[in-house]
Structure 1
Amino acid sequence: MGEGHELSAAAAFDALGAAYERAFAASPAHHDSLRRLGEQLAPGSRVLDVGSGTGRPTAQTLADAGHRVLGVDVSPVMTKIAARQVPNAVFRCADIRTLPLDGADAEAGAGGESGAGFDAVCAYFSLLQMPRGDQSRLLHRFRRSLKPGGRLVVATVPLDVEDVGVVFMGQPVRVTSFGAEEFTALVKEAGFAIEWQQSSLFTPDHPEGEPEPHLFLHCRRL
């Protein structure tokens, strides 16, 4: 694939649409992670789902459990699918890097308490098309958007790659990630204690799906 032909994250996931859900939504490790998070949240918690995609499984699982979920995704197509599939959550089409998280909190139903923050932030595989500097800055923003002791759940593909062109489910994209040790160090440096982690290998249910290493981190804001 020649340089310059890669799609933006929005264009790539617009093209994938519901196919992404079919490929990834059955991940046992993802569902295990959501189950673990659900056991830690108080009833009616405020949750920010970063890179919410089609709303399944993350937003739907949490909203069905009675939590107030705000999903943010850069893809207009994904956002429309999510709003249709998970009507008991709120979805915004926006770039999380520039979205004011205090305003997002209010939209999710935070009430009148100024700076109340989120009880949890979920970022399942949503940092992979961002430069390393943006990933680090976002982790710090997530910490600031959380209540004291709030939860961060983040998942990534733990490979040491930077701005590499790949074909993902037929779509040419550029990806950036960190090795597992470097990523966990980045999360700790942003002000989180890692309380649980799980590594797994998952093959997406797609004709072009290949086995991927996945790393899930459950963290608490210090």
Structure 2
Amino acid sequence: MVKGTYATDYGLIRIDRTGQAEAFDAIGRRYDEAFRQKDGRLSAGAWLIASLPPGSRVLDLGCGTGLPTTRRPADAGLEVVGVDLSPGMLRLARKSVPGATFHRLGLADLRPAGPHDLGRFAVAAFFSLLLLSRAEIPLALRTVRHLLVPGGLFALSMVEADVDAFAIPFLGNTIRVSGYLREELYEVIEAGGFEILGESSYTYAPAVADVPPEEQVFLCCRRRD
């Protein structure tokens, strides 16, 4: 059973991004150095690319440095747009993937009837939803559903953990993360209007001392219409 309090509109919750983008500005390239093994991202990204017709548009939510999630579909000839709240990460992404388009935006900026309309896409969101509070995650999923073409594909990943906006040390900085245990994560995704087509998980130990081992969950989903 899904736990917690869920808002029905962005106006009903307080969105606090204090320090999150600044932490990733400071982290920069060290993120890719700490998380060298990206098998889950590569596999889920390959599924997305293989499932899309030529010329499709892909939106990378929380694109970070652009590696590998933004670069792979761009190299495959797809039209790719990346969004992130960290100016430092966006600078790196623009250098890494010059063929993609990047915007400094968050999910709340892309909400239905929100201030920015980038069009419709297939969507990848690898470890970006975990930077939101649990109250905001269902709203974020509603936004993702809005961004998808009808029957559109959505690849995402989370870290399996029963936490809500929990402060953790991360590569010499502090960030706040949320997560769910596996069955609850499935419930949240399905309640958001998605069919889960495939799932994989990886136990991963980052190559730094201050980030503990984690269970990474990757889901390949389709929008239910």
Partner secondary structure for residue 176 of structure 1: strand
**Shift of residue 145 of structure 1?**
1.5
Deviation (angstroms), 1:23: 2.0
Matches within 5 A, 1:92-171: 92-99=103-110, 100=114, 103-105=117-119, 117-118=120-121, 120-171=122-173
What displacement does 1:185 show?
0.7
CA offsets per residue over residues 128-160 of structure 1, 9 Å max, x none? 121112111010111122111100111000111
SS of 1:13's partner is: helix
Q: For 1:140 and 1:74, how far apart are their aligned partners in 2?
A: 19
Where does structure 1 lack aligned partners over 5 or more consecutive residues?
A: 1-5, 106-116
Matched residue, 1:21: 32
Q: CA deviation at 1:26?
A: 2.9
Match of 2:84 among 62, 73, 82: 73
* Equivalent in the alignment of 2:46: 35
Confirm or deny: 8 A CA contact 2:203 2:216 kept in the other structure.
yes
Q: Tell me which residue corresponds to 2:215.
A: 213
Q: Which amino acid aligns with 1:103?
A: D
Corresponding position of 1:110? none
The answer on whether the counterparts of 1:97 and 1:138 sit within 8 Å (CA) in structure 2 is: yes
**Matches of 2:108 and 2:68, distance apart in 1:** 23
Distance change >3 Å, CA 17–CA 161, structure 1 → 2: same
Contact 2:169/2:211 (CA < 8 Å) preserved in 1?
A: no
1:52 equivalent in structure 2: 63
Aligned counterparts, 1:166-181, within 5 A: 166-181=168-183
CA distance in 1, matches of 2:18, 2:107: 18
TM-score by length of 2: 0.86
User: Are 1:7 and 1:173, in contact at CA under 8 Å, matched by a contact in 2?
Assistant: no
- Aligned with 1:198 (options 197, 200, 203): 200
**What SS does the aligned partner of 2:221 have?**
strand
TM-score (norm 1): 0.87
Deviation per CA, 1:21-76, whole angstroms, max 9, x where unpaired?
22225321221111122111111111110000000000001100011111000100
Distance 2:18 2:171 in 1: 13
Q: Which runs of 5+ in 2 are unaligned?
A: 1-16
Counterparts of 2:54 and 2:115, CA distance in 1: 22
Give the 3-state SS of the residue equivalent to 2:135 in structure 1. Answer: helix
> What are the Cα deviations for residues 84-111 of structure 1, in whole angstroms up to 9, with x where unaligned?
1100000111222123486222xxxxxx
**Sequence identity percentage:** 38
